[in-house]
Amino acid sequence: VAVVTQTPEGLAVQWEHSSGSPSALRRHLGADQRLAASEAVLGRDPAIRRLLPYTSGIALMRQEPWECLVSFVISAFNNIPKIGRSIEHLSRRFGERIAAVDPADTATEAGRLQDGRRDAWSFPSPERLAGAHLDELRACMLGYRAPYVRELAAIVASGRVDLAAIARLPYGTARRALIELPGVGEKVADCVLLYSLGHREAFPVDVWVQRAVERWYFGGRSTTPRAIRAWAIDRFGPLAGYAQQHLFSGARWVVKTRV
């Protein structure tokens, strides 16, 4: 467990767990990526060049695959604050307690200890979630997604699907394998491929990215997510994943600031 704070000089890290390693943290956050070269190429695109003043510095995380997979299955037809609360509930109910940390941020009141500190829990293993009852999962605000999460856990825990093996496959093969899984469609598969497995040609198309592309590239014409993905891979190639991050972030920035 580490408390990470952004400072003008860089990231300040307060370790709460003795086995932490700075290089692993950098890799997890994507802070080891050299972004300048990618942004220089992407900046040749007029729409992205306009966004870069607000989105420059975005990196691609490298999350643990199981946690990433479950998180994005939960994300379907959901909203971002509730997704966070669901993951917090799952971890507290089925994960293991790791440490108590000083709350440098006050983003959530959940899990506050009596002394004002906050405890931290690991993301639950496939084995633990495979043994969960559906009503316990629904109590974590999973709703109709509860069966997906439990089936997913059962499949991974049984060894019928090996995420580490999928991680070694090339993009297209890994993508088809992920889409076989319950609750995983094209968009969620691309999220796992991009945020966890390091496939930077992946281009997840959610409603935000779809709106952004239709507005800034298609002259307002509406299309399908599949057509947008094909267009993006053709246009941005191995930088499609970074392009998606800037477009997503830019689309949300526009709404947030009402531009």
Partner DNA sequence: GTGGATCCTAAGTT
Partner DNA sequence: AAACTTAGGATCC
Q: How far is the CB of 218 from DNA (least distance, A)?
A: 18
Q: Which stretch binds DNA (CB under 7 A): 18-26, 125-133, 181-189, 230-238?
A: 181-189
Question: Residue 174: helix, strand or coil by DSSP?
Answer: helix
Q: Which of 1, 11, 67, 78 binds DNA (CB under 7 A)?
A: 78
Q: Which residues contact 55 (CB under 8 A, 6 or more apart)?
A: 245, 246, 249, 250, 253
Asked if 182 touches DNA (CB under 7 A), the answer is: yes
Pair of tokens at residue 224: 């399908």
Q: Which residues are catalytic?
A: 187
| Backbone conformation region of residue 57, classed left if phi is above 0, alpha if psi is from -120 to 50, else beta | left
Which residue's CB is nearer to DNA, number 102 or number 241?
A: 241
SS3 content of the chain, % helix, strand, coil (to 5): 55, 10, 35
Q: Which of 1, 3, 47, 76 binds DNA (CB under 7 A)?
A: 76
Contact by Cβ (8 Å): 53, 88: no
Question: Residue 10: helix, strand or coil by DSSP?
Answer: strand
Q: Which of 4, 165, 207, 227 binds DNA (CB under 7 A)?
A: 207
- Report the alpha-carbon distance of residue 3 to residue 15 in Å, rounded: 6
Binding mask 138-177 for DNA (x = CB under 7 A): x--x-xx---------------------------------
Q: Which of 81, 159, 170, 219 binds DNA (CB under 7 A)?
A: 81
Asked if 188 touches DNA (CB under 7 A), the answer is: yes
Contact by Cβ (8 Å): 66, 163: yes
Contact by Cβ (8 Å): 65, 197: yes
Contacting DNA within 102-141 (CB under 7 A)? 138, 141
Asked if 77 touches DNA (CB under 7 A), the answer is: yes
Which residue's CB is nearer to DNA, number 109 or number 115?
A: 109
Binding mask 237-256 for DNA (x = CB under 7 A): -----------x--------
**In whole angstroms, how far apart are CA 232 and each of 76, 126, 207, 217, 235?**
22, 34, 15, 10, 5
What is the tally of helices (H) and strands (E) in the chain? Answer: 14, 4
Asked if 203 touches DNA (CB under 7 A), the answer is: no
Q: Which stretch binds DNA (CB under 7 A): 17-25, 73-81, 94-102, 215-223?
A: 73-81
Asked if 179 touches DNA (CB under 7 A), the answer is: yes
List of residues contacting DNA (CB under 7 A):
71-72, 75-83, 138, 141, 143-144, 179, 181-189, 206-208, 248
